[in-house]
Structure 1
Amino acid sequence: MAGWRPALAVVAGTLLLSGCTDGTDDGRTARGTPSASAGGKRSPSPSSPTASPSSSSGAYTLAENRAPRTRAEAVAFVRSLVVRPDYFGAGYRRGEPYESDPARWAVLGEDCVWRREPLPRTVLASLTRRFELPEEKGKDAVYVALTVTVHTSTVQARRDMAGSVEEALRCPEQRLSATERVRGLSSQAQTATEQESPTTEDDLQEAGEYVVDGEEPRPFDWSKFRLGPVTVAATVRHGAGRVEYDIAVDALKGVGFVAAEIDRRDESGDTGTKDEPTGTGGAGGGGSTGGAGTTGGTESTGGAEGGR
């Protein structure tokens, strides 16, 4: 893989924080205050950065006693999080389909094939949102998918992170659909105690190649971060003609905006779960799940449209 990728994993925490201190256009902005959304809630924006992490360790977090406790609360929580296309850079727009079913998630089977399955009992909700940077002259499209998953406890979220690390070792090549796969996956994981400047409590970075049958391989990046019982994951399918490092850095900054908003929910005690519809079912399932499944195939072909 390209030489910049290990370096990108090392500085991921810094990039997460810079996602809340920089703009996404060519003129980077200085640290400021969060903006207010239409509903009166303060939300991060590329031009209006957020405050520092609220926990004493300096890492973004969500205390378990402030996290959603039911499926209905968890679905309301993940849907209430602001995720704007320009969090990932200028020119992005919503993908199609935009959102996944929060009662299902992507599971990597023993055969190293991704499938969508109902949530296990240890997961309350998992929502993937998709974004794309359209193709232009000499540059192919870029696809980003961001998944927020609410677990029943911090312990379960930690187990999920550990399982994700094992998946790259178990399946260095993973099938997304009948014609799509990722291969050559390598991973690096760190806890907050292992990071010089922690911004989340655990993080995992993976890199490899995304391959469509009959086409040239493209760089593929996957990142996953834990904030208490919540995990935030993002995948990036690069396009030919793009600057790989810039695309990857901007995607990490986008994750930073979402992590900062979750951290503010911890500080304010507002989990965004009031006056929302009741839950969506989805118990059972299980199995090993991980990161590549966030890339965006379809259930009809067996590809995973959202991952952990």
Structure 2
Amino acid sequence: MERRIRHGCGALALGLLLTVGCTAETDEPDESAGGEVPGVGDGEGPGIVLAAERLPVNRAQAVELAETIMARPETFGPGFVGIPGRGGDPGEWAVLDENCVWVREPVPDEVLASVTGHAELPAEEGAGPLGVSAVVTVHRDARSAEWEMARTVEDALRCPDQQLRPDEWVSGLISVGMEFGAVGNFFAEDFLIERGSFHGGESDEPHDFEWARARIGPLTVAVSAKGAEGRTGEEVGEAATRASGLMLSTAERELAQEPAGPDAGEGKKR
């Protein structure tokens, strides 16, 4: 049986204010549709038909899928190298607490696994290290992933300044949410981007910070990029958007009922 996931959590705003409307309605299966189960929501999404046999049903399968989708160092661009030993437990994920500090907590029941990877573009003459992180989170269903996207927006509105680590924080975060078809989003059912200033490292000056999260069905991918002295905003943004796009392409190839393109190949049955 295959399941069609359609966009259900609308988020669109420009500037300082982001208004979120999140609706999730589950339609009954249409027997005339050949076994397809319409997904949650009533918006227009990319129309990807997810093959049920390719969707993870336990943590081991979710970790396998997430690691397949996870960005490699070269995904962020030429010259990036991995940072080993900072991936964390796939049974935990990052949560923004009431004090606007990011902490690790066990994933809730509706989340199967969350896998994290880190890399950087090493310092060179006239430029400090450009740090990047990627997270792939596999939910039990699309509705749970939609709520993760909605909570992300709420976090940014609640905490425009956020503590990343004891010696790193971001300030002045501005969020923009794009539903499918809005502002050039033709690649994900939901897409969020945040920009602000990064503080940390050896420099006392703030640097560019960009963070993006996207959703396809029950899966979300997130990428953050932290600037440094001598790094431009374009470099920071390119690292984040490049990795996001390539991970989404891999996710579609792994989960879609039909190959994403003539050379995409087939996803893996689980």
- Deviation string for 1:6-31 (max 9, x for gaps)? 89xxxxxxxxxxxxxxxxxxxxxxxx
- Deviation string for 1:25-48 (max 9, x for gaps)? xxxxxxxxxxxxxxxxxxxxxxxx
Give the whole-Å Cα distance in 2 for the aligned partners of 1:64 and 1:160.
22
TM-score (norm 2): 0.74
Q: Percent sequence identity over matched residues?
A: 36
Distance 1:179 1:62, change over 3 A: farther
Which residue of the partner structure matches residue 186 of structure 2? 198
Which residue of the partner structure matches residue 61 of structure 2? 73
Give the whole-Å Cα distance in 2 for the aligned partners of 1:272 and 1:150.
16
State the superposition RMSD in angstroms: 2.3
Higher relative contact order (CA 8 A, sep 6+): 1
Aligned residue among 260, 264, 268 for 2:253: 264
TM-superposed deviation, 1:73:
1.2
AA aligned to 1:262 is: A
Q: Relative to total residues, which structure has the larger strand share, 1 or 2?
A: 2
TM-superposed deviation, 1:111:
1.4
Aligned 1:142-157 pairs, distance under 5 A: 142-157=130-145
AA aligned to 1:259 is: L
Which of 128-137 and 64-73 deviates more?
A: 64-73
TM-superposed deviation, 1:191:
1.0
Aligned 1:65-144 pairs, distance under 5 A: 65=52, 66-81=54-69, 83-144=71-132
TM-superposed deviation, 1:88:
1.1
TM-superposed deviation, 1:226:
0.2
Q: Structure 1: any 5+ residue segments left out of the alignment?
A: 1-5, 8-56, 274-308
TM-superposed deviation, 1:64:
6.9
AA aligned to 2:119 is: F
AA aligned to 1:124 is: L
Give the whole-Å Cα distance in 2 for the aligned partners of 1:82 and 1:111.
29
Which residue of the partner structure matches residue 249 of structure 1? 238
For the residue of structure 1 that corresponds to 2:238, the secondary structure is helix
For the residue of structure 2 that corresponds to 1:194, the secondary structure is coil
TM-score (norm 1): 0.66
Which residue of the partner structure matches residue 235 of structure 1? 224
TM-superposed deviation, 1:271:
4.0
Q: Relative to total residues, which structure has the larger helix share, 1 or 2?
A: 1
Aligned residue among 218, 231, 237 for 2:207: 218
Distance 1:218 1:62, change over 3 A: farther
Distance 1:62 1:140, change over 3 A: farther
Q: Structure 2: any 5+ residue segments left out of the alignment?
A: 1-13, 16-43, 260-265
For the residue of structure 2 that corresponds to 1:116, the secondary structure is strand
Which residue of the partner structure matches residue 33 of structure 1? none
